[in-house]
């Protein structure tokens, strides 16, 4: 975990140095996860993939085109997965991802921002049935509480991928899955371009 946090901080600092003064910082929050399995026939019971609550943590940078439009990129460690219940036994299955959401941000007023864009992911540990690569579409909204703090809601709908099962296990079916994640988070701006402008007006 320490190595991961160091990597996230390095990418954040590199982004600031490379692209100039940006709004950016650290963020973290809660994941409400579902693994939605389809086309499985009778291969899995209703108890096989139940939703779980987990977490995410990472960094973000944002650059404005103008007062209303911006782009934003994030690097997140995100714990997803599901709960498997079989014969009264519950197993918490963790799917640990590095995610890269890339957004177009619309800011109708300074207080409020809406975001939309793709999210790419790579599973660094988890279930052998699940593909290492992941991709989805994210939509969300964020409130800029102050120059330092923001809070937001986000929904990520993953694209369908086939479960990696051998022919004996699949029994003629081709089951697929989607990662579905609803997030609540709090962000802290380590750098805020608007603050710099207020301190150094032209």
Boundaries of every domain in the chain: 2-199
Do 39 and 178 meet the contact criterion of CB atoms below 8 Å apart?
no
> What is the pTM assigned to this prediction?
0.82
Do 155 and 139 meet the contact criterion of CB atoms below 8 Å apart?
yes
Which residue spans within 39-148 are E strands per DSSP? 52-64, 69-86, 89-109, 112-125, 133-144
75-88 pLDDT tens trace: 999 999 999 887 77
What mean pLDDT is predicted for residues 118-126? 95
Report the percent of the chain where pLDDT is more than 90: 58
- DSSP 8-state symbol, 68: S
| CATH number for region 2-199 | 2.40.160.20
Residue 60 to residue 93: CA distance in whole angstroms: 27
Cβ-based neighbours of 46, under 8 Å, separated by 6 or more: none
Longest dimension (CA), the chain: 70
Most confident of 16-20, 41-45, 175-179: 175-179
Residue 58 to residue 135: CA distance in whole angstroms: 18
Ordered alpha helix ranges (H), 1-67: 2-19
What mean pLDDT is predicted for residues 192-201? 54
């Amino acid at each position: 975990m320490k190595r991961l946090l160091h990597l996230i901080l390095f990418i954040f600092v590199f982004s600031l140095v490379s692209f100039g003064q940006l709004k950016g910082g650290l963020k973290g929050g809660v994941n409400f996860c579902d693994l939605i399995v389809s086309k499985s026939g009778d291969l899995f019971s209703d108890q096989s993939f139940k939703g779980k609550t987990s977490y995410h943590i990472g960094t973000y940078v944002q650059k404005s085109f103008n007062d209303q439009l911006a782009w934003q990129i994030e690097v997140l460690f995100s714990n997803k997965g599901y709960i498997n219940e079989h014969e009264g036994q519950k197993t918490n299955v963790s799917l640990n991802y590095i995610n890269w959401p890339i957004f177009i941000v619309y800011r109708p007023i300074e207080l409020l921002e809406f975001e939309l864009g793709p999210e790419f992911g790579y599973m660094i540990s988890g279930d052998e049935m699940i593909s290492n690569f992941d991709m989805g579409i994210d939509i969300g909204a964020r409130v800029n509480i102050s120059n330092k703090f923001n809070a937001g809601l986000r929904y990520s709908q993953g694209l369908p991928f086939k479960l990696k099962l051998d022919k004996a296990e699949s029994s003629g079916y081709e089951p697929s899955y989607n990662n579905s994640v609803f997030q609540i988070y709090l962000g802290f701006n380590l750098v805020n371009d608007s603050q710099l402008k207020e301190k150094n007006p032209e």
